Chains A and B, each alone.
Chain A
Amino acid sequence: AQSVSQHNHHVILSEAASLELGCNYSYGGTVNLFWYVQYPGQHLQLLLKYFSGDPLVKGIKGFEAEFIKSKFSFNLRKPSVQWSDTAEYFCAVTNTGGFKTIFGAGTRLFVKA
């Protein structure tokens, strides 16, 4: 069965620190991968997505993610976090051409000013 694993449930960083949030998925076929963010009191928004092509994907607000097929991973990175990045981050996967999205449990990031 498809599954998505996010390694850290809670992360605390100081401003300007670098961020990497781990995401591994379990699925045998071709996949589409997403990172969503949920800021406090707001709904989920798409940060970035991977469908094909360059495995290094650039998203909004300086985020990027790298798809490593051999490791079934899609880790999210940002070189220098800001206080405003405090939010919950969700990794998600669908099979290509499908519609059922499988979400990870989420990682809550708190950035200290």
Chain B
Amino acid sequence: NAGVMQNPRHLVRRRGQEARLRCSPMKGHSHVYWYRQLPEEGLKFMVYLQKENIIDESGMPKERFSAEFPKEGPSILRIQQVVRGDSAAYFCASSPAGTFDNEQFFGPGTRLTVL
């Protein structure tokens, strides 16, 4: 049973470009969470999605950031017009249900570097 997959593992962008980060949840999981980890900091919640629905995006910056989890295909975290401050590790997690009676399973992360 494959774990949570994220790609790319490393992404380099120049300021002003767009970054697209993909997350495929574990088989049977329909809930996806995105977190951002800045250097020397813990993971910060960004957004929680179910298939075709954004449940909570309170941790996501209001501008330039968006997320989706379509009926088919992976969840996408999209960052438009990247800036140096967006450089971080972005982790995706999935669970079979939305409550914390179920553990979240994490992917390996995407390390975004903005030049």
Contacts and interface: CB of A to CB of B under 8 A. Distances in A.
A25 interface: no
Interface residues of B, number: 28
Contacts of B104: 101
A99 B91 contact: no
A103 B99 contact: no
B100 A46 contact: no
A99 B100 contact: yes
Interface string A81-99: 0000000001010101111
B101 interface: yes
B65 interface: no
Interface string B39-64: 01111110010000001101100000
A110 B108 CA distance: 21
Contacts, number: 63
Contact of B48 (A4, A36, A42, A100): A100
A98 B42 contact: no
Given A49-B103, A90-B43, A101-B45, A42 B98 contact: no
Interface residues of A, number: 27
A9 B41 CA distance: 10
B107 interface: yes
Given A44-B91, A49-B103, A99-B99, A105 B40 contact: yes
A103 B103 contact: no
Q: Which of A42, A43, A45 has the most CB of B within 10 A?
A: A43
A97 B58 CA distance: 17
B99 to A, nearest CB: 5
A32 B100 CA distance: 7
Interface of B: 3-4, 31, 33, 35, 40-45, 48, 55-56, 58-59, 91, 93, 98-101, 103-104, 106-109
Which 4 residue pairs of A and B lie closest in terms of their CB atoms, listed nearest first? A103-B42, A44-B106, A103-B43, A43-B108
